[in-house]
Amino acid sequence: MRHFGSLGGLVLLVVLACADRGHEGADLILRNGRIYTLDAERSWAEALAVRDGRIEAVGSTVEIDAGAGPATRVIDLGGRMVMPGIHDAHTHLLLAGLKWSHECRLPAGAGPEAIVAALQICAEATPDGEWIIAGEVNPNVFGDAPYDRAFLDAAFPDRPVLLHEYSIHHALANGRALELAGIDADTPDPAGGQIRRDPKSGVPNGELVETATTLVTRVVPPYLDRVYRGALRFAIERCHAYGITSVQEASANRRLLELLRDFDEREVLDLHVTAHLVWGSEKFGGAPPDELDRLFEDRRAFATDRVDVDATKVWLDGAPLAPYFSDAGLDPATGEVDPRNLLVDEDTLTGLLVRWRAAGVKPKLHVAGPGAARVALNAIERAYPRGSESTAPRPDLAHVSILDLADAPRFAALDVVAEMSPALWHLGEVPGLEIVNAWWPFASLHEAGATLTMASDWVLPPDPNLFPALEGLVTRQRESLELSVGLAMMTRNGAESVGRLERFGTLEVGKRASFIVLDRNLFEVPPTEIGDTRVLLTVFEGETVFVHDDAPSGWPAVDSAR
């Protein structure tokens, strides 16, 4: 009963029989629409029916109307487009929730004076002596003004201040924060990081590069439980507003796993989460490596129907952004990997991958520079022998921002997923981010047979909206792709990557009823208008979780209990 048009009357009889159960009919019917199913056998339909949280039927309006009962909710789409719920292949739910709902926000492009003014407002709203955590500071806008802690020390001599840098990989701390962290002229640089210093005195100037940020963040007191809960709820609701119904959480730690389990047990987790547990990085895991290892061993205690925990995350390098450029590149003279910014060597990574493959764990490997991507591919080739009978999920390479195109064919050959995060395109006017317009070799990887997924990397952009990214994907002069390929990256490919294609990713009979209604047909509007797309309705496993203010009256409201 998958496709009405091809199976005709027999299917209709089956649907009518299903609809007659208990004389109730379907729970929800969408009719008179343009439903883009991403089903390889039938891409478009007019209507679908939902029962008990699953898609019961897909077909024509006449066929689906026959399954209605007295209690069926009916949405007349008026020709609007429906598609599967979006899979965000790389997000940071708790970090983004805290950043955008709780921590102090700085004006875009703020210099020293504007930063201090914003911090003073935030200081008045928090108890005396408490840390002020704010972001983001952009070193690229300071011009002739020195980028160091002097202006923070002058305004806040006795109160600790920590500013996240715009890439989230680095930070600027004032003198009081450094003092509480025990950082002085004699403190050595940590592995993979740098404490920048005054060139004459050697005194730390407040700049903390990569892993050096951990020296300060480990002494920042945790937030109250209600703050974490509110931040996660905020993040989930923001996902719904942009049509996201499943995600890959790229920095899962113990606090987040506890919250996700609790939300699901209380039936308020309206999102499917593949939680990539942090390996080896106190910076992103919020705990020393040995504690992160224990969490990994205990991970199954946090698995639920909507939370998968057999996944992990490794950072192989930093960020390819000015002024620090902490990504691992290739030596221009030899073409070999430049190891200076490499955080994990190839042999260590190979050993980890072998262990995770045996345990059925899906790795996500952060690779910002072409050198890191080369190391990751080399290690995967060693850890996943060709012809292997292993059914372990294959790794994702996260970001793939800059790649030596000679490595592009290796993705398909090694069955590696290229997870890419072009949501940064709509931040291209931010000083330092202009270079992202030349990133991401989509077409080269697609033509080489690689599986591509799309991600927001939400914690950098202000929201997880992937429609501007989709617009850029189809309109770029170089490395652009067809719209149908981009939509597959946002839906089916993501579900396949996390081993959940039987559950979501396409709109087919038997799958969970997770879908969205758009305010425009993406295939009919000019490509330059795709980025302005609004989600009018988001349904997660049969439950309405978001309704836009511009949605027609009479459409199902969000369940107030959620």
- For the cut 70, the answer to whether the pLDDT of residue 235 exceeds it is yes
CB atoms within 10 A of CB 127: 6
- For the cut 90, the answer to whether the pLDDT of residue 264 exceeds it is yes
The model's pLDDT over 101-159, given as tens digits with 9 standing for 90+, comes to 999 999 989 999 999 999 999 999 988 889 999 999 999 999 999 999 999 999 999 99
> Which of 437, 422, 540, 537 has the alpha carbon at shortest distance from 470?
422
Q: Given this structure, which CATH class describes domain 103-217?
A: alpha beta
Give ∠ CA 72-73-76 in degrees, rounded to 5: 125
Joined together, the tokens standing for residue 537 give 């309705």
Predicted confidence at residue 479, as pLDDT, reads 95
Joined together, the tokens standing for residue 344 give 């994990």
The one-letter amino acid code at 433 reads L
Which ranges in 45-111 belong to alpha helices (H)? 61-65, 93-101
- For the cut 80, the answer to whether the pLDDT of residue 553 exceeds it is yes
Q: Given this structure, which CATH class describes domain 88-93+223-497?
A: alpha beta
- Which 3 state secondary structure label does DSSP give 174? coil
Containing 349, the helix (H) or strand (E) segment is: helix 346-359
Token pair 């790649």: residue: 403
- For the cut 70, the answer to whether the pLDDT of residue 2 exceeds it is no
Weakest mean pLDDT among 14-23, 159-168, 211-220, 433-442: 14-23
CB 352 within 8 A of CB 314: yes
Predicted confidence at residue 388, as pLDDT, reads 55
Tell me what percent of the residues of the chain surpass a pLDDT of 90.
Answer: 87
- The contacts of residue 534 (CB under 8 Å, 6+ apart) are 518, 519, 548, 550
* CATH superfamily placement of domain 4-84+514-547: Urease, subunit C, domain 1 (2.30.40.10)
**Which residues lie across from 247 on neighbouring strands?**
88, 273
- For the cut 70, the answer to whether the pLDDT of residue 447 exceeds it is yes
- For the cut 90, the answer to whether the pLDDT of residue 473 exceeds it is yes
Predicted confidence at residue 337, as pLDDT, reads 98
The residue-averaged pLDDT of 268-276 equals 98
- For the cut 80, the answer to whether the pLDDT of residue 7 exceeds it is no
Predicted confidence at residue 15, as pLDDT, reads 44
- The contacts of residue 324 (CB under 8 Å, 6+ apart) are 167, 169, 170, 209, 210, 318
CB 260 within 8 A of CB 275: yes
Residue 75, CA distances (Å) to 12, 61, 215, 287, 496 in order? 20, 11, 54, 48, 29
CB 55 within 8 A of CB 77: no
Please report, for the chain, the start and end positions of each structural domain, with discontinuous segments joined by +: 4-84+514-547, 88-93+223-497, 103-217
Predicted confidence at residue 9, as pLDDT, reads 39
The one-letter amino acid code at 239 reads C
Kindly state the greatest CA–CA separation across the chain. 85
Distance CA 214, CA 219 (A): 9
The one-letter amino acid code at 245 reads T
Nearest 5°: phi and psi at 263? -60, -45
- The contacts of residue 398 (CB under 8 Å, 6+ apart) are 90, 250, 313, 364, 365, 366, 367, 419, 421, 455
Tell me what percent of the residues of the chain surpass a pLDDT of 70.
Answer: 94
The model's pLDDT over 62-114, given as tens digits with 9 standing for 90+, comes to 999 999 999 999 999 999 999 999 999 999 999 999 999 999 999 989 999 99
Predicted confidence at residue 389, as pLDDT, reads 57
Predicted confidence at residue 5, as pLDDT, reads 38
Give ∠ CA 10-16-17 in degrees, rounded to 5: 90
The one-letter amino acid code at 197 reads R
Weakest mean pLDDT among 364-373, 414-423, 505-514, 530-539: 414-423
Predicted confidence at residue 61, as pLDDT, reads 97
- The contacts of residue 189 (CB under 8 Å, 6+ apart) are 195, 212
Nearest 5°: phi and psi at 453? -125, 165
The model's pLDDT over 341-400, given as tens digits with 9 standing for 90+, comes to 999 999 999 999 999 999 999 999 999 999 999 999 999 999 998 755 567 798 999 999
Reported confidence tier of residue 17, pLDDT bands at 50, 70, 90: very low
297 vs 476 pLDDT, higher one? 297
Give me the half-sphere count of Cα atoms (radius 13 Å) on the Cβ side of residue 272: 26
The residue-averaged pLDDT of 231-245 equals 98
The residue-averaged pLDDT of 512-521 equals 98
**Computed from CA positions of residues 173, 175, 180, 183, in that sequence, does the dihedral angle turn out positive or negative?**
positive
> Which of 174, 196, 169 has the alpha carbon at shortest distance from 185?
196
Mean pLDDT of the chain: 93
CB 172 within 8 A of CB 135: no
Q: Which residues of 54-82 are buried (b: 16+ CB within 10 A; e: fewer)?
A: bbbbbbbbebbbbbbbeebebbbbeebbb
Nearest 5°: phi and psi at 114? -65, -35
Reported confidence tier of residue 423, pLDDT bands at 50, 70, 90: confident
CB 314 within 8 A of CB 365: yes
Nearest 5°: phi and psi at 402? -130, 125
> Model-level pTM?
0.94
Predicted confidence at residue 514, as pLDDT, reads 98
The model's pLDDT over 429-438, given as tens digits with 9 standing for 90+, comes to 789 988 888 8
